[in-house]
């Protein structure tokens, strides 16, 4: 009887050691998987940040070309006011940009130009958009874009684009 109990004790010890080894190996697998996921996350963040930088450069290039085109259109309009529509259509046809975003931007420019600036337009927009109102008040206090973004908890690019689209910068 003592040998039987001794045999069962050894058997239980062996089973417990095997289960400890199996649990340890599973834990190491999860630790390795977490490390790999952290590496993947860092790589994804690098790719996304590179993509955002590239988008910002393309946006700046677009804004520069769009503003030069607007400047050229304004010069053409000063010389020949009676042919305003024809000059605008030819300037749009001459450009190399054929993307949908450029077409939407040029159409928006046409609408704004046709409507003209309304007297209370800027104040109405700032009253409707509390973020814009906060940004404007901080900008009037003389804060930089970085300081504004930090105080509002927003990105610098977001604040910069908000000011650019509102033509406040």
pLDDT tens digit at each of 169 positions of the chain: 899 999 999 999 999 999 999 999 999 998 999 999 999 999 998 889 888 898 999 999 998 888 888 877 777 666 665 555 554 555 544 444 455 666 666 676 677 666 654 444 444 444 457 888 888 889 889 888 889 999 988 888 888 888 887 765 4
Q: For the full predicted model, state whether its pTM sits above 0.85.
A: no
For residue 166, the model assigns a pLDDT of 76
Task: Report the b/e string of 83-102 with b at 16+ CB within 10 A.
Answer: eeeebbeebbeeeeeeeeeb
For residue 40, the model assigns a pLDDT of 93
Count of C-beta atoms within a 10 Å radius of residue 69: 19
Tokens 């003592």 appear where?
A: 2
Asked if 127 and 133 touch (Cβ cutoff 8 Å), the reply is yes
For residue 115, the model assigns a pLDDT of 63
In angstroms, the CA 105 to CA 164 distance is: 14
In angstroms, the CA 147 to CA 86 distance is: 45
For residue 78, the model assigns a pLDDT of 66
For residue 133, the model assigns a pLDDT of 87
For residue 81, the model assigns a pLDDT of 57
């Amino acid at each position: 009887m003592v040998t039987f109990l001794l045999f069962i004790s050894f058997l239980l010890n062996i089973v417990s050691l095997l289960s400890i080894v199996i649990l340890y190996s599973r834990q190491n697998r999860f630790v390795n998987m977490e490390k790999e996921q952290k590496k993947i996350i860092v790589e994804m963040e690098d790719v996304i940040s590179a993509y955002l930088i590239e988008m910002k450069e393309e946006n700046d290039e677009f804004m520069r070309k769009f503003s030069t085109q607007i400047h050229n259109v304004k010069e053409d309009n000063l010389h020949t006011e009676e042919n305003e529509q024809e000059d605008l259509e030819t300037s749009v046809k001459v450009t190399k940009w054929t993307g949908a975003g450029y077409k939407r931007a040029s159409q928006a420019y046409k609408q704004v130009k046709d409507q003209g600036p309304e007297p209370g337009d800027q104040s109405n927009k700032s009253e409707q958009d509390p973020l814009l109102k906060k940004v404007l008040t901080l900008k009037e206090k003389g804060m930089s874009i970085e300081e504004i973004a930090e105080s509002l908890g927003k990105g610098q690019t977001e604040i910069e684009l908000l000011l650019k689209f509102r033509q406040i910068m």
